[in-house]
Amino acid sequence: MPEDSIDHIDFEELNKRSISTPIVTHLYTADPSAHVFNNKIFIYPSHDIDAGDAFDDLGSHFAMKDYHVLSMEDIGGKVTDHGVALCVENVPWAERQMWAPDANEKDGKYYLFFPAKDYEGIFRIGVAISDKPQGPFTAMKNPITHSFSIDPAVFKDDDGSYYMYFGGIWGGQLQRWRTGIFNANQPDSPTAFLPDDDEPALLPYVAKMSDDLLEFAEKPKEVMIVDKNGNLLLAGDNDRRFFEAAWLHKYKGKYYFSYSTGDTHFICYAIGETPYGPFTYKGRILNPVVGWTSHHSICEFKGKWYLFYHDSSLSKGVTHLRSVKIAEIKYNEDGTIQTLDPYKN
């Protein structure tokens, strides 16, 4: 829900209607990437703080400086905060804004993938490594070569290949890379260089990862999101087109690409036959939450599927102070996902 619509909300009543509660309340967390390692759920969220920056459409008020890792042995069980796993002053190339991360495991090593702005104000994607899923993580000296924009999500396929999905418009700068070179003009405009409404929407990217998970093994490719007729979604199709928060999971042999529509606040999904797509739009997973952003992950645990998401109910609607929540998702016989309403009527 847009920030300007929260003034009339009774948050005590809203929280009673919520389908889930914040999993931690001692700090603000958002953008949860969930994975099962060692029979436990590990969640890699953003760590929201109030740095005093004014709200703007570039996301300057999202001034996060570090990451915490959360874990739990059961859904609804005790959540352990493992403390600071990585902070910006320990990332040589990064200056600020440590936004939504992800993680994965290979050969007993754990890899944290994260976006941050470099000293030129350009979002890049970095990698940090640990011997433990909870960290602490040691960052590589440089970001991934040719990386750009935000919201990395790294998917491990059944054959042991790893793929990174990434991208985000407006403050995520994806629109500034349309020519393949960063466009620094009109730096205060989040919507400069976006396609016209009747043009195809900007697309997220995917790249297979190198064997050591530290670089791209190929040039990133656009992830095609199409309608039922095979046509690319248009930029003016705000209820369906990609904005940010890419995620990929696999269910019954199909690849499910999910994402946020940003300014319309839906979590949507599309289904494909390969990790590269194309992905055919199928519908919504989550309707709008309180707070401007919506960002999620999807994970199977003990035979059930769960959506990890956030809202701003704990902070009474403060956009940049969010809280991670969890809700079970269910599939229909045809493989489509039943849409969740975050608050009961």
| pLDDT 10s digits, 286-305 | 999 999 999 999 999 999 99
Distance of CA 29 to the CA centre of its chain: 12
pLDDT at 55: 76
pLDDT of 160 > 50? The answer is yes
| Contacts by 157-161, CB closer than 8 A, 24 or more apart | 157/250, 157/275, 158/250, 161/208, 161/209, 161/275
Q: What is the pLDDT of residue 238?
A: 98
| Mean pLDDT (whole number) for 177-192 | 96
- Rounded mean pLDDT of 65-93? 97
Q: Which residues have C-beta within 8 Å of that of residue 290, sequence separation ≥ 6?
A: 1, 6, 9, 14, 311, 312, 313, 317, 342
The catalytic residues are 31, 244
Report pLDDT for 4.
47
CA dihedral over 260, 206, 71, 332, signed as positive or negative: positive
Q: Is residue 337 included in any domain, yes or no?
A: no
In a domain, 57, yes or no: yes
| 335 in any annotated domain | no
- Preceding omega of 278 cis (within 30 degrees of 0): yes
Number of domains in the chain: 1
Q: What is the average per-residue pLDDT within 215-244?
A: 98
pTM for the structure as a whole: 0.96
Rounded Cα gap, residues 335 and 178, in angstroms: 34
Nearest to 76 by CA among 344, 340, 342, 328: 328
What pLDDT is recorded for position 252? 97
And the tokens for 47?
Answer: 């760590």
CATH code for position 201 = 2.115.10.20
Per cent of the chain over pLDDT 70 is 98
Written as six digits, the tokens of 27 are 């700090």
pLDDT in tens, 43-70: 999 999 998 776 788 888 888 999 999 9
Contact criterion met (CB below 8 Å) for 312 and 291: yes
Whether 46 contacts 338, CB under 8 Å:
no
Instruction: Assess if residue 98 is contained within a domain.
Output: yes
Given a cut of 80, is residue 2 above it in pLDDT?
no
In the chain, % of residues over pLDDT 90 = 92
pLDDT, residue 5, reads 55
- Domain assignment of residue 169, given as a range: 3-329
Three-state SS at 88 = helix
Mean pLDDT to the nearest integer, 117-144: 98
Domain membership flag for residue 157: yes
Residue 306 forms part of a structural domain:
yes
Domain-embedded: residue 343: no
Could you tell me which residue, 345 or 277, shows the higher pLDDT? 277
Over range 253-274, report the average pLDDT: 98
Averaged over 298-317, what is the pLDDT?
A: 97
Residues 324-338: tens digit of each pLDDT: 999 999 999 999 999
Closest CA to 342 of 2, 62, 21: 21
Cis geometry, peptide bond prior to residue 136 (ω within 30 degrees of 0) = yes
Establish if 115 belongs to a structural domain.
Answer: yes
Q: Is the pLDDT of residue 180 over 60?
A: yes
Q: What pLDDT is attached to residue 57?
A: 83
